[in-house]
Structure 1
């Protein structure tokens, strides 16, 4: 069986990629939706390569020899290489969860000013659904104060500071989870649900500091209602 080790490893990795990209929406925990076709092609290619390697290995003898230390070597490599199948098998059976509160809290609470300016008018009607990234940008950098007097609805997961302050939080990604940054809004007027709970907060913007100042971050929302929701298939916002 040792000769089939590389084929098994390739098949497990390929199957894991196909599981999260072709057979489910789990790939959205790691990369943007536009990368799905590349994942599917990569997974399929790995499975086909595993089949080819297995066919070649079937007709090849494995002239291994024990080295006196319990490690038999040969073209297929040492037996310890079978341990490489364990992370691949774990990825297939237990895909890692999306990034959560720990990742969000690693980012410093203070940001350098990025320059202020006016933003396009918000859609008419209340409440208006906003991504947390857009809400934060308007709250911190909009000199026109387009959020003033508007009721907004924000969805994200719960994070909390040591002093009890809590936030509705979303991670922003450009390509994949590795480049994630944080968008969040401090919530006032509502009791904090458990950390990592997904919620939709409806309320009004509470201005803090001048546009572009350190005091303006993180933005604040005075909650008028709060409800728990399921984590969306895509837990991230596009940056």
Structure 2
């Protein structure tokens, strides 16, 4: 790879980084807060590439030696993003990297708050629900309907999971939170996003690890579109 080609690769990397950051595609890789950093990195790469090209084309432009062949590997991530943009992590990851939620002696709050405006259920995050559902005192959930949103993950040993992936920085540190849905999956495909409205049910042992898992008994399961940002920070 000669110097001119290196500079074009730099321009390509910068352009792809900007294209990913300007839309919602970056949400498949990092948290929303990283968008300004991606925009800055893409802009710097573009400027460096343009400056290098201008210098090369000037009358006294420098023409250095070629880079090692391994430098072509820089094109691999660009090719993947352009041609086969990976989707956000889903049921495959959730089945293998699920968080084991520990049962707390006390629920995180005295109650789960009022119902959603105009509804007869309370929307909760999966982790928040799990902490309440596995607590020694589950009275906060007594007689309450809860709404959980996530994607379908198959489960061995009965029922299925409504799941959500959480990330601290990027997809590399992803971990899933899952809640057992105490019902048949029917024709719901893995990775289908759903809203589950239901009530607390006794925990079940994990089919492999044996630790207790939070369970919801559904009143309704409604397929929905995946949100723009599928991860929870």
What TM-score range do you get, normalising by the shorter chain?
0.7 to 0.9
8 Å Cα contact 2:17-2:39 kept in structure 1: yes
In 2, Cα distance between the equivalents of 1:108 and 1:237? 14
1:190 deviates by: 4.4
The structural deviation recorded for 1:90 is 2.9
Deviation at 1:7, TM superposition (A): 1.4
1:76 aligns with 2:71: no
- CA shift for structure 1 position 76: 2.4
Question: Which whole-Å CA distance do the structure 2 matches of 1:79 and 1:195 have between them?
Answer: 41
Match of residue 7 from structure 1:
7
Change over 3 Å in CA distance of 1:120–1:29 after alignment to 2: farther
Where does 1:35-114 land on structure 2 (aligned, <5 Å)? 35-59=34-58, 60=61, 62=63, 75-78=65-68, 81-82=71-72, 84-107=74-97, 110=100, 113=103
State the TM-score, normalizing by the size of structure 2. 0.83
Q: Does 1:231 align with 2:230?
A: no
Aligned residues: 222
For the residues of structure 2 that align with 1:95 and 1:219, how far apart are their CA atoms?
34
8 Å CA contact retained: 2:133, 2:200:
yes
RMSD, aligned CA = 2.6
SS at match of 2:150: strand
More displaced 10-residue stretch of structure 1: 148-157 or 4-13: 4-13
SS in 1 for 2:164: strand
**What residue in structure 2 maps to residue 187 of structure 1?**
181
Deviation at 1:215, TM superposition (A): 6.8
Q: Tell whether 2:146 aligns with 1:148.
A: no
CA distance 1:147–1:3, shift in 2 (3 Å): same
Structure 1, unaligned runs of 5 or more: 63-73
- For the 8 Å contact 2:103–2:131, the answer to whether it is kept is no
Q: Would the aligned equivalents of 2:98 and 2:176 in 1 still touch at CA under 8 Å? A: no
TM-score where L is the length of structure 1: 0.81
Indicate yes or no: 2:19 matched with 1:19.
yes
The 3-state SS of whatever aligns with 2:227 is: coil
Structure 1 residues 114 and 87: CA distance shift in structure 2, 3 A = same
Asked whether the equivalents of residues 179 and 216 of structure 2 are also in contact (C-alpha less than 8 Å), the reply is yes
Structure 1 stretches of at least 4 aligned residues deviating more than 6 Å after TM superposition: none
CA contact (8 A) 2:124 2:147 kept: yes
Separation of aligned partners in 2, 1:109 and 1:40: 32
| 8 Å Cα contact 1:15/1:92 also seen in 2 | no
In the other structure, the counterpart of 1:70 is: none
Match of 1:71 in 2: none
Post-superposition offset of 1:180? 1.5
- Go from structure 1 to structure 2 and tell me whether the alpha carbon gap of 1:168 and 1:108 turns closer, same or farther (over 3 Å shift): closer
